[in-house]
Chain A
Amino acid sequence: MPKVIKTKTEFEGRTLEEYVVVEGEGLEPWEPQAALRFVGKSTPRIDGPERVTGKALYTADVQLPGMLYGKILRSPHPHAKIKKIDTRKAERFPGVRAVLSSQNTPKIAFRRQTFLFDEIVRYVGDEVACVIADTEEIAQDALELIEVEYEPLPFVLDPEEALQPNAPKVHPSGNLLNGEPEVYERGDLKEGFAHADVIVERTFRTQCALHNCMEPHGSVALWEGDTLTVWDSTQHIFGVREGLARLLGLPLHKVRVIKKYMGGGFGSKNNLGKYTVIAALGAKMTGRPVKVILDRHEENLAAGNRPSSVQRLKIGAKRDGTLTALELKAIVAAGAYCLWPPSVGGPARELYLCPNVRTEQYTVFTNTGPLSAFRAPGYVEGTFALESLMDELAQELGMDPLELRLKNYAEYDQTTGRPYSTKGLRECYERGAKLFGWNLKKKGETRERFRRGVGMASQIWSGNGMPPAYALVKINPDGTATVITGTQDIGTGTRTVLAQIAAEELGFALEKISVELGDTQTGPYAPLSAGSMTVASVGPAVRLAAHEARQQLLDVAAQVLEVPRESLTIADGLLHSSALPKPVAVHEVLKNLENFMIIGRGARAPNPEDVTVNTFGAQFAEVLVDTETGEVKVERIVAVHDSGRVINPLTLSSQIEGGIIQGLGYALFEQRVLDRSTGIVVNDNLENYKVPTALDVPEIVFEMVDRPDPKANNLGAKGVGEPPIIPTAAAIANAVTNALGVRIYELPITRERVLKALGR
């Protein structure tokens, strides 16, 4: 019977309370020493063949008969009122089937602060209209025929300027999100600083970074009668379904969202996009399927970003390194619209033992592209500032940076007072230091042109997963099984990991398992693939569903084979029993049952209330800085992370490497550049927005603590998607400081900034 439970869940640094429905019996995690056949084994992706042959169908590849293409007209102004819009010429252009704008579409509220087509545009790239035409080329040509009369309004691009009382207002209610800063406080800050022997205080700045997923955002919409089917490049099919149904006034069973393969999201595809609603409306209007895929420039304008931050950070400590107070004031640029601000103060609140802490975050609207989640939102930025200043403090105290971190090791979660379910950070430090050969003194300043430096940084992040998440496991008459759940594989290897879990629990061979994801019509609900929570949310539900299917199979087999049920076990798809002369294949039992299909159901149980489930890690960087050119070359990164049990070491290692490489780009060269006089993004392409290439990749050595977290969930596994990007930039920045003898307080650490720091 379903049970309704009220539970607390943590997502990307924020705690929510919600009701969840769970059912079925709980399962204990496998024993740490349990001999497992599939879980914990390096397993190549089960969907590898589709992906390497070009057969995997991404949203951008969907082509339907009679399909039309949509192209979006975007604002050239950072802030303007649309006085008049005339689409008649565009509508008359041969091949154009419809032009959508505020004039012929319902006024649909969007992203809390705007409408699908608003009469005010608030950043260069804001949506104004959309042409639906026979071909992309015609749609593109016709965009130029739309006549829009804009009344330019005063605009503000810089978040610090936007906080000034006389700044132009991005929204009538003001530029500060929710009208007030988000404040967290524990202990007595004043007291804490009064007791400090040493106080360090600095301002850190981080840049706006762009996701640049290889597959652009986009959707294909098809109406069949009153049923809407949407193929969407999304990290959350159920979120898109809910949003479309709500905005278009449709019942949920008439909206189907499909995402079989997706070419990267990194958080930017967490939410319903305007392009999706536009595709659906355009398809309705024309009676034909409509595809809207953003181009690379639109990706860099309107598809989200990791917002810039300004962080004033102050740490007080005793002479022996004990922290007495920690204060952060952060200003974060929301861009024009904001659903979910990143939590920049997370690391300052959680990472180190400190009784007196205050964090204050101002999330500020500006006339720039709206932020979205970007792989460990807030924590990457916050860790850069905190871990930089911790190094500075260590230097001030004459302590080794690692020693200072160990001195302030937090054994419990100070934001809730609860212990951690498990915390392997100490082991990450120790193993990392050993692997790296940590010795700060070995390097240091030299007079050579090329200077070598080493640095390290720590990582804390939730990655705990949460309910609700549901799964079905269906056993077919031929002894194969299908896992069905409405989650998504965004490139992380979810399909493979879920197959491993099901195979383990069922006692079937891995190749007997298929996994159906990414379809709201067939899969039970699963949460968005974000927050490093897919495996820890959906995995336990799959295990329970497989467990239930197995129980049913044993019930049936005991009756068919006429043996005691307790005597039966399953391994490799064979039923074993001391009462049987020889093992019997599962399909031998099922084939006599007239296509009877076993269906097991599983629901993710609530998180434990008495402990905090987190992930931890440490990274060490070695860099070589060219003092003539300012170029920083990262030679080596050593990473040790603790995310509980490792289900698939192979795909996990890919995520670790990928996170580090993305972190390296963020540390050294990625940044959106705005023209201050026009608000235009001047590097809205992959030529000028620098993402890491094959030639930028350092040597990466990593290990996992790989100890099951017995309290996390029935797998003992936690997330790993975000943790590896969190400490990379901070470790690199600390290594650069070690090499140069001077610190750079702003990311990215470009050649220009290095030369400037060296006084050149």
Chain B
Amino acid sequence: MATKAVRPKRVKIPVRGPGKTPITLIVNGQAHELLVEPRRTLLDALRKDLGLTGAKKACDEGTCGACTVLLDSKPIYACMALAIECEGRAIETIEGLARDGKLHPIQQAFIEEDALQCGFCTPGQIMAVKALLDANPSPTLEDVKRALSGNLCRCGAYPKIFKAALRAAELLESLRARHSH
């Protein structure tokens, strides 16, 4: 049976690459112009082009969470996003957390609870906690465990990470209470 060929409607997609292409990334509130190959991941763009080495490359294939950053407030594995996909979107990394030389309450809680050993997964853990607490300011222990289930810690700092997340929630709550007065 003959079918009439239908010509698909052409959608104009701008072709970029395979060579380097200019992009603008907004990282921790600052715009950065860079020139990257389309295949460059957000993780490599952060680490190699911007020198922001807080997000770690531990697997580079979306299986460990050490490169967790926030993209439009949602936690993502930076190794699983292409830099060009993230153009114009709000990217938050561990480097943006401390302000004016003062640690973020989550960072403070991680130190006080000793929620780290080698520290290599820590920036990712902290960003995952940040995403959780931004969305759910008073999580239960179960909420914390679920939110962190995509962030591996080979040293097994998990029990302390849970404590730190819950403590950070309290610290943030008391800060909010103080501000509202």
Contacts and interface: CB of A to CB of B under 8 A. Distances in A.
A316 B119 CA distance: 47
B126 interface: yes
Interface string A638-672: 00000000000011011101111110000000000
Interface stretch (B9-17, B83-91, B110-118, B172-180): B110-118
Given A52-B110, A61-B53, A213-B118, 12 more contacts: A44-B114, A52-B107, A60-B57, A213-B120, A214-B120, A214-B154, A264-B117, A651-B114, A657-B157, A660-B156, A694-B148, A695-B149
B58 interface: yes
B171 to A, nearest CB: 14
15 contacts: A44-B114, A45-B111, A52-B94, A52-B110, A52-B119, A53-B107, A264-B118, A264-B155, A650-B114, A654-B117, A654-B157, A658-B157, A661-B158, A694-B148, A695-B145
Interface string B106-145: 0100111010111111110010000000000000000011
Contact of A49 (B55, B57, B103): B103
Q: Quick one: which of B61, B117, B122 has the most chain A CB within 10 A?
A: B117
Q: Quick one: which of A60, A686, A691, A692 has the most chain B CB within 10 A?
A: A686
Contacts of B111: 44-45, 48-49, 52
B65 to A, nearest CB: 10
Given A60-B56, A60-B57, A657 B162 contact: no
A654 B160 contact: yes
A262 B162 CA distance: 23
Contacts of B107: 49, 52-53
B81 interface: no
B37 interface: yes
Given A215-B56, A658-B155, A56 B149 contact: no
Interface of A: 44-45, 48-49, 51-58, 60-61, 63, 137, 211-216, 261-264, 266, 293, 295-296, 490-493, 650-651, 653-655, 657-662, 685-687, 691-695, 697, 700
A55 B110 CA distance: 15
Given A685-B61, A686-B63, A52 B122 contact: yes
Contacts of A63: 48, 51, 53
B54 interface: yes
A658 B127 CA distance: 21
Interface in B36-50: 37, 39, 47-48
Contacts of B110: 48, 52
A45 B93 contact: no
A574 to B, nearest CB: 28
B38 to A, nearest CB: 12
B56 A58 contact: yes
B152 interface: yes
Given A296-B58, A491-B117, A686-B63, A694 B161 contact: yes
Contacts of B94: 52-54
Interface residues of B, number: 55
Contact of B118 (A44, A263, A651): A263
Contact of B154 (A49, A262, A264): A264
A703 to B, nearest CB: 15
Interface string B70-109: 0000000000000000000000011101100001000100
Contacts of A686: 59, 63-64, 152
Contacts of B22: none
A212 B153 CA distance: 10
A694 B156 contact: no
Contacts of A654: 114, 117, 155, 157, 160
B56 A263 contact: yes
Given A52-B103, A52-B126, A697 B159 contact: yes
A293 B63 CA distance: 18
A387 to B, nearest CB: 21
A195 to B, nearest CB: 44
B27 interface: no
A296 B118 contact: no
A215 B39 contact: no
Contacts of A51: 116, 119, 122
Q: Nearest 10 A-B pairs (CB), nearest first?
A: A54-B54, A263-B120, A491-B118, A661-B156, A658-B156, A48-B111, A51-B119, A61-B53, A54-B94, A686-B63
A262 B56 CA distance: 12
Nearest to B145: A694
Given A63-B53, A694-B149, A54 B123 contact: yes
Contacts of B66: 214
A653 B58 CA distance: 25
A235 B116 CA distance: 18
Nearest to B53: A61
A440 B94 CA distance: 48
A215 B57 CA distance: 8
Contacts of A214: 56, 58, 64, 66, 118, 120-121, 152-155
Contacts of B53: 54, 57-58, 60-61, 63
A216 B107 CA distance: 24
Contact of B117 (A61, A492, A685): A492
Contacts of B154: 211-214, 264, 266, 662, 691
A691 B58 CA distance: 14
A221 B149 CA distance: 36
Nearest to A648: B114
B122 A490 contact: no
B37 A137 contact: yes
A261 B56 CA distance: 13
Contact of B61 (A264, A296, A650): A296
Contacts of A653: 114
